[in-house]
Every structure is written in C-alpha cells, then in structure tokens.
C-alpha cells in the first residue's frame, strides 16, 4: 500500500565494533544489520505517512496500539512523531504464540483493548516484527471484532521470506533476512531489548 520498505536482505552489515554495543552482548551477536540512526530516521518517515493518512477524513480518531513487549521501543519513537489531524489516543495489546514444543501452533493468545475504547476508531496496530504472520493475523481478528472504524498495521521489521499467511501491512520499515534478530526492542529470552541497533544472533546462542 503506502509502504515502500527498505530491503536490507542483500546489504552489507557491520561488525559489533563499528558501533557502540554492550560488551556483554558482543560474543552473542553475529552482525549489526541496521544501526539505530537508520532505524530512527526510517520511523520518522513512517510517522509522516501515518499522519498524512489521518488528513483524509475529518472525523478520524486515531488509536495507536502497541503490541507488547517487543514493539515498546518502536512505539516510543514513533508516537511522539505523529501529528494526527483528529482525536488521538493509545493503548496496548498483549500477544504471544504458544510455542512450547509445538511448532505447528498457528494461533496466538491475544488480549486487546475493550470494545468501548476502540469502537469507531481508526486503530493502528504497532508491531515490532512480522515473521510467519500468525500473531498479526490473530491480533487483527481480535481487534476487528470490537468494531473499529478501520484497522491498519505498522511493522518495523518484515521477515517476508518466512510468511505463512497473507497479511496486508500498511507501513513497513525494513525487509530483513531470515535470521533470529535482536535489539531495538526485540529479545531472545528477554535479553538484548536494550541493544540500540538491530543485530543477528549467533547460532551458538540459539542452540545453547
């Protein structure tokens, strides 16, 4: 749609010594794929596009929903840059795939804001990364059931090569390679969320 994501799948990456990276993280990281500066600049542009979309309808009431916890950092950078023409409010969505030993599980457990808070509003789902797509599929289903005026999706990172279900993403930051990624809010066992850049995790960490 309005999205013109930056595809970094064939781009050069950086070593962990070329940017400031916590020493404790360095042995676990393979490469830095996107620096914080690039991520923030891209989010500014995404915010501009989202704001433009609110000018199309006078009655628009934007409700930005942060998918916890991975999207917290993206949300915190994005939302101050928004300048919606109409009303604006925000909230959170909890989502988790049941993954324990069951790789076939395609449903995500989702809890969304109650009907009276999002009914009639233009809900913008703000998510860190889309992989197979099941999580966002469940979120959209749950949000739509609360009768919003519209639903749109902003995703910072898109692991497009792994998609299993088709989902229309309105705003995409970057198309990223099929690797396990951490940083800028993304975690592995709750670690690395506070890494400023997007990095690939070394396979030794995933095995151990």
128 binds ligand IMP (CB under 6 A): yes
140 binds ligand IMP (CB under 6 A): no
158 binds ligand IMP (CB under 6 A): no
Q: How far are the Cα atoms of 47, 137, 140, 156, 181 from residue 17, in angstroms, in the given order? A: 31, 38, 40, 24, 18
Q: For ligand IMP, which stretch binds (CB under 6 A), given 22-30, 38-46, 131-139, 142-150?
A: 131-139
Rounded to a whole number of angstroms, the minimum distance from the CB of residue 127 to Mg ion is 6
Binding ligand IMP (rule: CB under 6 A), the pick from 9, 81, 97, 193 is: 97
Smallest CA-to-CA distance from 186 within 72, 28, 100, 92 is with: 72
Binding ligand IMP (rule: CB under 6 A), the pick from 28, 36, 122, 131 is: 131
Smallest CA-to-CA distance from 156 within 183, 138, 137, 122 is with: 183
183 binds ligand IMP (CB under 6 A): no
Binding ligand IMP (rule: CB under 6 A), the pick from 180, 191, 193, 205 is: 180
Reply yes or no on whether 131 is catalytic.
yes
Give the separation between CA 183 and CA 191, rounded to whole angstroms.
9
Rounded to a whole number of angstroms, the minimum distance from the CB of residue 4 to ligand IMP is 21
Residue 171, burial from CB neighbour count under 10 angstroms (0-12, 13-18, 19+): buried
- Provide the H-helix boundaries in 67-169: 72-78, 115-118, 134-144
Q: Which of the residues 122, 131, 170, 196 is marked catalytic?
A: 131
What is the side-by-side order of every strand in the sheet holding 198-201? 29-34, 198-201, 181-182
Binding Mg ion (rule: CB under 5 A), the pick from 5, 70, 113, 173 is: 70
Q: For ligand IMP, which stretch binds (CB under 6 A), given 25-33, 50-58, 78-86, 127-135?
A: 127-135
186 binds ligand IMP (CB under 6 A): yes
User: Three-state SS for 40?
Assistant: helix
- Which residues contribute to the site for Mg ion (CB under 5 A)? 70, 128
- Which residues contribute to the site for ligand IMP (CB under 6 A)? 70, 97, 127-136, 159, 180-182, 186
Residues involved in catalysis: 131
């Amino acid at each position: 749609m309005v999205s013109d994501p930056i595809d970094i799948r064939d781009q050069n990456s950086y070593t962990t010594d070329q940017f400031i990276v916590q020493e404790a993280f360095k042995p676990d990281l393979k490469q830095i794929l996107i620096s914080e500066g690039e991520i923030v600049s891209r989010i500014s542009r995404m915010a501009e596009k989202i704001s433009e979309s609110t000018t199309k309808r006078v009655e628009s009431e934007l409700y930005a929903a942060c998918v916890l916890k991975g999207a917290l950092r993206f949300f915190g950078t994005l939302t101050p840059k928004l300048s919606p023409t109409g009303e604006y409010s925000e909230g959170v969505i909890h989502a988790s795939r049941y993954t324990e030993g069951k790789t076939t599980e395609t449903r995500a457990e989702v809890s969304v804001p109650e009907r009276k808070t999002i009914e009639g509003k233009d809900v913008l789902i703000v998510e860190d990364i889309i992989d197979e797509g099941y999580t966002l599929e469940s979120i959209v289903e749950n949000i739509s059931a609360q009768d919003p005026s519209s639903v749109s999706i902003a995703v910072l990172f898109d692991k497009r090569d792994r998609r299993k279900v088709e989902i229309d993403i309105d705003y995409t930051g970057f198309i990223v390679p099929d690797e396990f990624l951490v940083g800028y809010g993304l975690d592995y066992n709750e670690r690395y969320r506070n890494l400023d850049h997007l990095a690939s995790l070394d396979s030794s960490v995933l095995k151990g």
